Structure 1
């Protein structure tokens, strides 16, 4: 069942069975709308180089990397530019098959024929033979719907994959990393000099398709001109400047709110269901995706919990499902109402 099909199914199930616990909402912008900062009221001139340096400072990366920090309109835009270049150089591309279907849409639009590897119930990196072609593997860290950061062993596996050929490189989608600096595993992979990092204000500041940075390596230097030729608008640059300078604490507030929502979800789950969620997913800061090793149909019929089948995220042979903590049933207003019932 694909995403659009599931949304229709979800609405029908909730209408027919109001007692179902909705653990299948995915729209974080709607769920956390009151937390999103307002855009600036006036227009100011903001330079991309200044924003790149501000982004590097925030994430404790060397400012001398600013020449490789390409300002873009978010991770989707950044991947689109990178994928078109990969097509031009006839690169091989590996994508996680059960994370984000848009990865494949962007790759195919760029003329690529990506291969896939699974991440559920744990990432299993490809073991294909190497050749002379450039080869890129996309990792998400943290990863949804896995709901956690890559482990030390998984980062070591990615580094081993790189070492098998000098033509291999990583693309790291860090959009779900709401902390600063980035996770230790991401920094270790960056230190290989063979990784491209993608990040944006999409999740931490709740502003999708506005501003992001693609941190290129030396092997992708020729991509710089493509990014410079396709910049964000002046309004987007002004908003990005406001987010980074005046609203730097918003990602931490988002993490705190998501943690509170997760706890409210956990309090409402049957013990069997809660126990089937991996500890690393339950404790990952800022996470709102929780894989559970129980089929979605079983969760709905036996436990009264509406979860997402893994097919919503892409192809997978795993039989489990995914819960989220964004539904109205675990929102702040609902929690207050339960504590203070009407007289």
Structure 2
């Protein structure tokens, strides 16, 4: 079931009787709209190099990396630029098949024919032998809808995959990283010298497709000019400056709000369903996706819970589904009303 098909299915189900517990909202920006900062009204000039250094400081990365920190309009834009370059160097590309269908749309638009690997219920890296072509593996850390960071053992496996060939590299989508500095696993992968890191203000500051940074590795140095030739607009740069310098605490507040919503979800779930959610996803900061090894149809029929079928995220053989904590029922207004009782 595609995402748009599921949205129509969800709309019909929520309007039917008996009422379902809506654990299938996926729009973070709609759920947290009151927290989103306003765009600045000024016309002052903001320079990309200053924003790159501010981003590096926030994530406690070396300032000398600024010449490799390419300012862009977000992870989608950054991936589009990278994918077009991968086509020119005839690279092989591996994408997670059950994370984000847009990955495949961007890759195919760039003329690539990506292969896939699964991440649910746990990442399973490709086992095809390496050849002389450049080979890139895209992974997300933290990974959604897996709902957690890569474990130490999983990072070990990724590093082993890299060591099998000098032509292998990583693309790390860290858009769901709301803390600073980056997670230890992400830093380990960066330290290999063979990773490209992509980050943006999309989740932590609730401004999608506005501003991001692509941290290039030595093997991608020639990509710098492509990013310099396709920058964010002056308005987007001013907004990024406002977010990074004037709203630096917002990602922590987003984490706190998402934790509160998750707890409200957990209190509404039947014990059998709650017990099927992996513990590490329930404690991952800023998480609002919770994979559960129960089919969406079973959750609907037997427990009155509306979940997201895993196929909405891409092709998967895993029989489970995904719960989310973004619906209005788990928001602060609903919680206040529940505590106050009937009037």
If the length of structure 1 is used for normalisation, what is the TM-score? 0.99
Residue 42 of structure 1 is matched in structure 2 by 42
Residue 176 of structure 1 is matched in structure 2 by 176
Residue 147 of structure 1 is matched in structure 2 by 147
Give CA deviations for 1:103-155 in whole Å, capped at 9, x if unaligned. Answer: 00000000000000000000000011111000000010000000000000000
Residue 335 of structure 1 is matched in structure 2 by 335
Residue 114 of structure 2 is matched in structure 1 by 114
Superposed CA RMSD in Å reads 0.5
Matched positions, count: 343
Matched residue of 1:299: which SS?
Answer: helix
Map 1:55-204 to 2 at 5 A. 55-204=55-204
Residue 250 of structure 1 is matched in structure 2 by 250
Structure 2 residue ranges without an equivalent (≥5): none
Residue 300 of structure 1 is matched in structure 2 by 300
Matched residue of 1:16: which SS?
Answer: coil
CA distance in 1 between partners of 2:4 and 2:232 (Å): 29
CA distance in 2 between partners of 1:328 and 1:47 (Å): 39
Residue 216 of structure 2 is matched in structure 1 by 216
Give 1:179 shift: 0.3
Structure 1 residue ranges without an equivalent (≥5): none
CA distance in 2 between partners of 1:128 and 1:43 (Å): 52
Give yes or no for the alignment of 1:276 onto 2:263.
no
Give 1:288 shift: 0.2
CA distance in 2 between partners of 1:201 and 1:129 (Å): 36
CA distance in 2 between partners of 1:299 and 1:48 (Å): 48
Map 1:16-31 to 2 at 5 A. 16-17=16-17, 19-31=19-31
CA distance in 1 between partners of 2:328 and 2:312 (Å): 20
CA distance in 1 between partners of 2:17 and 2:199 (Å): 39
Map 1:229-244 to 2 at 5 A. 229-244=229-244
CA distance in 1 between partners of 2:307 and 2:213 (Å): 33
Give 1:341 shift: 1.9
Give 1:19 shift: 1.9
Give 1:39 shift: 1.0
Map 1:305-324 to 2 at 5 A. 305-324=305-324
Give 1:18 shift: 5.5
CA distance in 2 between partners of 1:242 and 1:284 (Å): 28
Matched residue of 1:149: which SS?
Answer: coil
Residue 261 of structure 1 is matched in structure 2 by 261
If the length of structure 2 is used for normalisation, what is the TM-score? 0.99
CA distance in 2 between partners of 1:232 and 1:79 (Å): 14
CA distance in 1 between partners of 2:242 and 2:336 (Å): 32
CA distance in 2 between partners of 1:8 and 1:196 (Å): 37
Give yes or no for the alignment of 1:32 onto 2:65.
no
